Each structure stands twice: as C-alpha cells, then as structure tokens.
C-alpha cells in the first residue's frame, strides 16, 4: 500500500499494488481511488470529513466526482469516484481535514494537509478495430491495422472526433517499414503501407502509442500519458524466391570420394570409413534475404569447367526449409581449378529447363581433386640383367621402377610410409 506522510494526515491508495493515478484516464474515475487516514489523536475532531483540491495542475483541469469523503470509524476517508477532467502529466492532489482553502501556493500552511505523488492522466483509449494480415516480406500488409481513438463523454467512452494527434506503430522484434505514424481523422486511424522485410513466422505483434500534446517520437511504451493498443499475433512470411547463396563451398577432396568428405578410420594405407563433414550446401532466399521455407524447389549443380569428366552422384537435391546439401557428388579425375555451378528449379522439372528456373543461381569458389586410395602398382621400368662380369651378386644394369595409382588411374605421387617388398627371384 502506498503511504505518504505530510503533516498529520496519512495518504494511502486503496490498492496495495498500484499508486493513485496509475492508468488514469481523463473524465473516468481513478482505477485506484485515494484513501486518507486521520491519526488517532485527531479522530473525533470537527469537521468529520476530508476534502480534496489540486496540489499541482499544469493542465488547468477540473476535478470530477466526490470532492469530499467522510471519515469512517476506523479513521479512514475513502474517495469513490474521484477523477481528473483533462489529460496531462505531473498532476498531484492535496487532501485537507475539512475544507481546503487558498490557492496551490498555500499548500503546506495547514499542518494537517497531505499531497499525493505526481501522476498523469491519459486522453482516452486506443481501440484496435482491425489487426494485421497477409504479411509477406517486403510487401505492405494485405490487411492494414485500423484503430479508434475514444475519449470520455458523460462518463462513457465515445469516438474522439476532434482528436488531432498522431498514433505511432512500434514493432519491437525488428524493423517496421512504411509510414509508422498516422493522424486520426474523425477519431479513426488507418495505416496504409506498413510492412516487414524480415520473415519471422508466427507470433508477430504491433504495438501502438499516442499521447495528447506530446510529439509522436517521444510517446513511447511506458510514457505515463500514452494511450496504447496491440494487435493479436500474426504471421510474417518470406516472399518469392529471388537468389541462391552458397553457404558451404566445395573443398579439396579425394578422387571418387564425396566432395567434402574425410577418412574417419584408417588402417595402414587403407581407409575403412569415409564420412562427409563439409559437403557443398546452398540456400534459396527472397529479395530481402529471408529463407524460402515453403514451396517445392530443387537445387541443381554441374561442373562448370568439366576438363573431360562428369560430376558423379546426386546432382539435384530437393530443398528442405530453404536449403539443399549435396552429400554424395564426386569427381573421378584429379585436377585443380574446378568450380560448381548451382541453379534452382521448380520441383518436378528438369535441371536444364530454363522455363522452370526460380531465383538466381551462383558459382562456387575453385577447389581441387587429389588422387584417391592406392589401388594398382605398375612396373614402369623392367629390370635388365647385369652389364659385364659379376655373377649373380652383381647389380642389375637397369633397376626396376614402379608407380602407384588409384581406381581411376590417377597417379599417387605421395605414399609416405608405404614399404614395397621384392620377393626372391624364382627360376
């Protein structure tokens, strides 16, 4: 409970969680009405009531409701329908034992006077008449928000025909584009071109604020005099496919192995287990960089500079949530300066169908292919017998030479640690 001592009266709000004036609306009784405690030594004194006047009144408002409250047997005077007549900030009320006399400048002359903390009163309320719908990235909402500005007339909310201040839209989850501030016309506020460029899926909400007499740029959430409203959650989705991005570049790989693979289990010079750790990967986005999560599309790839060979494996992959991974494409011949070209087509179309292309593709960085596992040993120099005398222990005139190659005939130029055994001759 909010309590403040000034003189011999004690001000209390009747609600222990909120102060007097919090959420106050001009012309409507305070949601939290004030209560004033008369200490025991003054109980029974005459007059038996508490009266109220402005302690601070920057908007030159009038008070509405009961301006006096009787002191109960418990020493507490409770007001029931006290209200401020005009919107504004930095209001304060003064409570007096009996009638209040004098001007605001006289406050403090009576030892029994008590004053409230400063508070604000809102002009009225914002009522959302229409929320947002059809939110596609980069495109104004198909359904734009619409609000009513209402003020209090004879105790009831009614359309504020004469309201001439701006209503501002806020999106706290990211940038909100379009004209974010609109002025009311005959109490109605219509937004026309709000949009989101980021596709955030479901759960988006737009928050609105408006303050009578405060510049729109200064009227924010939490401003005491701000009228507020919020839309129900709505979805924000990507636009049509616009461009592809290579998010996983092809890397140096072995001939015949999937591009981006490595050996996970090697026994001697033989790889027992190959795993793909860094495969080529592409994404398809709309014009604002949002992944195209829906729709049915296929990513295609081909070797740009073939050098006499073809790309092996699955060269077309269906996109899943905007991305495609090529996990089993390979090249059989070693070489440098290779590049992969990527395109996107509608599902069901052939990769080369130009009429089925969606968005723009791209070309990878250069990568190389090195020889694979040793598969074949070839004698490149046949041994030739001794030149001259020496017998069986004499060195051969031409020593044998061998080479190693992989399954695809690529020359293995490095065989570190490999030992070659020549068996004894047989006659």
- What are the residue ranges spanned by the domains of the chain? 3-122, 124-237, 243-370, 372-427
Mean of pLDDT values over 345-356: 95
According to CATH, the superfamily of the domain at 3-122 is Velvet domain (2.60.40.3960)
pLDDT digits (tens, 9 = 90+) for 290-301: 999 999 999 999
Which pTM does this prediction carry?
0.76
Residue 281: both structure tokens together:
């990967």
**pLDDT, mean over the chain:** 86
CA nearest to 131, candidates 147, 116, 112: 147
pLDDT at 44 over 80: no
pLDDT at 2 over 50: no
pLDDT at 19 over 70: no
Q: pLDDT-based confidence at 407, cuts 50/70/90?
A: confident
Report percent pLDDT > 70 for the chain: 88
User: To which residue do tokens 């001000």 refer?
Assistant: 11
Question: CA 309, CA 331: separation in Å to the nearest integer?
Answer: 8
pLDDT at 107 over 50: no
Question: CA 19, CA 50: separation in Å to the nearest integer?
Answer: 19
Of 341-350, 353-362, 410-419, minimum mean pLDDT range: 410-419
Q: What is the pLDDT of residue 89?
A: 87
What does the angle CA 53 – CA 57 – CA 61 come to, to the nearest 5 degrees? 85
**243-370 belongs to CATH 3.40.50.620:** no
Q: What is the pLDDT of residue 155?
A: 85
pLDDT at 16 over 60: no
Task: Report the topology of domain 124-237.
Answer: Immunoglobulin-like (2.60.40)
Same fold, 3-122 and 124-237: yes
Q: What is the pLDDT of residue 425?
A: 63
**What residues are paired with 345 via a beta bridge?**
298, 357
Q: What is the pLDDT of residue 6?
A: 39
């Amino acid at each position: 409970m909010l309590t403040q001592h000034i003189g011999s009266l004690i001000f209390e709000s009747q609600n222990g969680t909120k102060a007097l004036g919090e959420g106050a609306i001009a012309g409507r009784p305070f949601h939290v009405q004030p209560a004033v405690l008369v200490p025991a030594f003054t109980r029974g004194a005459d007059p038996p009531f508490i009266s109220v006047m402005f302690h601070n009144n920057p908007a030159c408002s009038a008070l509405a409701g009961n301006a006096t409250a009787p002191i109960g047997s418990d020493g507490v005077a409770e007001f029931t329908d006290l209200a401020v007549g005009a919107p504004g900030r930095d209001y304060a009320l003064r409570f007096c034992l009996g009638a209040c006399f004098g001007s605001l400048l006289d406050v403090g002359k009576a030892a029994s006077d008590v004053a409230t903390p400063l508070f604000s009163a809102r002009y009225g309320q914002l009522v959302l008449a229409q929320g947002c719908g059809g939110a596609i990235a980069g495109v104004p909402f198909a359904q734009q928000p619409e609000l009513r500005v209402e003020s209090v007339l004879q105790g009831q909310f009614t359309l504020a025909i004469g309201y001439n201040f701006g209503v501002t839209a806020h999106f706290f989850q990211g940038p909100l584009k379009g004209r974010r501030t609109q002025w009311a016309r005959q109490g109605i506020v219509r937004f026309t071109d709000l949009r989101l460029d980021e596709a955030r899926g479901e759960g988006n909400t737009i928050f609105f604020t408006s303050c009578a007499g405060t510049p729109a740029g200064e009227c924010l959430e939490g401003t005491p005099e701000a009228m507020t409203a919020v839309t129900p959650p709505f979805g924000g989705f990507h636009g049509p496919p616009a461009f592809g991005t290579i998010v996983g570049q092809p890397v140096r790989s072995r001939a015949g192995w999937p591009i981006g693979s490595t050996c996970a289990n090697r026994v001697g010079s033989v790889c027992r287990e190959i795993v793909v750790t860094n495969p080529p990967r592409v994404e398809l986005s709309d014009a604002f960089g949002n992944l195209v999560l829906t729709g049915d599309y296929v990513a295609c790839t081909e070797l740009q500079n073939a050098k006499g060979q073809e790309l092996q494996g699955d060269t077309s992959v269906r996109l899943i949530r905007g991305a495609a991974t090529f996990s089993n494409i390979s090249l059989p011949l070693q070489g440098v300066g290779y590049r992969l070209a990527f395109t996107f087509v509608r599902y069901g179309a052939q990769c080369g169908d130009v009429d089925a292309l969606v968005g723009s593709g791209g070309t990878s960085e250069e990568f190389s292919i090195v020889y694979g596992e040793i598969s074949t040993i070839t004698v490149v120099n046949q041994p030739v017998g001794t030149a001259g005398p020496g017998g069986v222990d004499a060195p051969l005139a031409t020593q044998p030479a061998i080479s190693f190659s992989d399954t695809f005939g690529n020359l293995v130029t490095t065989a570190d640690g490999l030992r070659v055994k020549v068996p004894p001759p047989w006659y």
